[in-house]
Chain A
Amino acid sequence: MEIYEMTIHQIRKLIEKGDITAQEVTEAYYNRIDNVESDVKSFISLTREKAEAQLDNLSDKKGILAGMPVGLKDNISTEGILTTCGSKMLEDYCPPYNATVTNKLQDAGAIFLGKTNMDEFAMGSSTENSFFHNTHNPWDLDYAPGGSSGGSAAAVAAGEVVAALGSDTGGSIRQPASYCGVVGFKPTYGSVSRYGLVAFASSLDQIGPITKDVTDSAIMMNVITGHDPHDSTSVNQDYPDYTDFLKEDVKGMKIGLPAEYFDIDFDNEVKESVLAAVKKLEDAGAEVEEVHLTGAEYALAAYYVIAPAEASSNLARYDGVRYGYRSEKDDDIKNMFTHTRHEGFGPEVKRRIMLGTYALSSGYYDAFYLKAQKVRTIIKEDFDNLFKDYDLIISPTAPTTAFKLGEKKDPLEMYHADIFTVPVNIAGVPAISIPAGFDSKGLPIGLQMIGPHFGEGKILQAAYTLEKILDINKKRVKL
């Protein structure tokens, strides 16, 4: 097995035994990037100088990620290193400070290889909304990697980094992880600091890891979770050692399959693959029952009010004054504002700003925004009630496997790629996507496990068990 195909825990063993040095690991990954990046295009920028500086400072460190080459989604602030958010608006923006997760990874010894591609301001499900370029799915380069963390998922799948961070507002970690055949974890809202994450929809955004297996996901979660006084929505409590949950045991675990989700018309191969995986968990001792939740369509509808509303407010800061792009048409202040935003934002971002502004505008606030927030209560309570009796809920991560680049043109059609992932953000609960199989085109299928607030442990335990049973996780892309 090549170094670039290995996991964090495999590489760590080799480093600990002295079989390989951190320098050699980074070199192996940069070689891999040299070989495949022109095809996959996972990155917006590579940070070789930063990686070398981090390697130089590593010698005295015994961090849990010591020498691990990682990628950061380009909406996670890195001091002095371009953080573009996939937008022309921030094309030249170098943050004056690090995100909390950036510091945490660095303190754990991680080596930053680059900033990964994404849909502009994390708005999208295919990474095609990036201002810079498309990213290609490493399993088949004609296909999209999913999004918005498509660069992070593709980089991990292609072996360009051993792990990466993404952000998930409505599925932006899990859906690309599903399309790229890797593991993506969206933690409970409030368990990972959002300080330094460029804001999209503040009540939904959450940072999480994209890794090659469930063990690495637990290792990354150990590094990034925790209270942060810089983020007032960060929950102040003790967080467990997530690796304690890496046990092959689902005996007596109660799993619910939401009828309203499986009733949606979606890809048959995906459905069969997910149900076959669930059957294996049942064979291993889990108790599986059909359960009922408010239809996912309502969560999606609420999402497309709440997320754009919050985005329209968060993105008001891009005015061409303090940082970011400024139009040359700046004869007066109002013209400068409107031209800057016209030229600096791409079509999907403008669409969502318009939608959100409309939903918040006088006369529509009650009908749309307030209504959506009430529906949010219904959806959250639905999950809360189910989790009184069930440990986990399982669904597909996405209704299909990856679609072709350029295939989806209609915004509403694209939004439906997130039908199974969006309710999780609306309720603020944690969920993982792990590979469950491959379709007849050879594209990966993702399975989603959802748990109660701060129920990451059981999710990891069930995911770890399923990963061992299915044993498909060692399959790597051919590039």
Chain B
Amino acid sequence: MISRKDVEYVANLAHLKLAEKEKEEYTEQIGSIIDYVDKLKELDTENVTPTAYTVPMKNVLRDDKARESLNRKKTLANAPDKKNGLFKAPRIMSDN
């Protein structure tokens, strides 16, 4: 079970605005998914090492050399807003 407060807290962490109806739905649905996932507790994982990737791999390194990358025009082509060859975003700091 999770509470509506949990849902609001998590939505804030995830930068998601939720409508009132969504908050209600997600409280119930995510709650029942969490209850299901709780099954994992039935398995003894004492002394088990966690797995992130299933295929054995070490750090993959390459020479630190400059290579060609996307040019500015292509990079900006999908931008919702741009100005003077830069991405344009709403202001981050207020006047005062």
Instruction: Report A's interface with B, CB cutoff 8 A.
Output: 92-94, 96-97, 188-190, 203, 229, 232-233, 235, 294, 297-298, 301-302, 304-305, 312, 316, 319-326, 330-339, 341-342, 345, 347, 350-351, 353-355, 357-358, 361, 368, 370-378, 380, 411-412, 415, 426-429, 453
Contact = CB atoms under 8 A, between A and B. Distances in A.
B48 A336 contact: no
Contacts of A333: 89-92
Contacts of B77: 94, 96
A416 B10 CA distance: 25
A75 to B, nearest CB: 16
Given A301-B36, A331-B90, A319 B55 contact: no
Interface in B28-86: 29-30, 32-34, 36-43, 45, 48-55, 57, 60, 62, 70, 74-75, 77-81
Interface of B: 2, 6-7, 9-11, 13-19, 22, 25-26, 29-30, 32-34, 36-43, 45, 48-55, 57, 60, 62, 70, 74-75, 77-81, 87, 89-92, 94
Contacts of A428: 53-55
B89 A338 contact: no
A304 B33 contact: yes
Contacts of A361: 9-10, 13
Nearest to B76: A322
A357 B10 contact: yes
Contact of A321 (B2, B37, B57, B80): B80
Contacts of B37: 301, 304-305, 368, 372
Given A96-B78, A333-B90, A376 B30 contact: no
SS class of chain B's interface: helix, strand, loop or mixed? loop
Nearest to B35: A412
Contact of B22 (A337, A350, A411): A350
Nearest to B46: A374
B5 to A, nearest CB: 12
Given A298-B40, A350-B16, A412 B49 contact: no
B7 to A, nearest CB: 7
Contacts of B75: 96, 322
B55 A342 contact: no
A377 B51 contact: yes
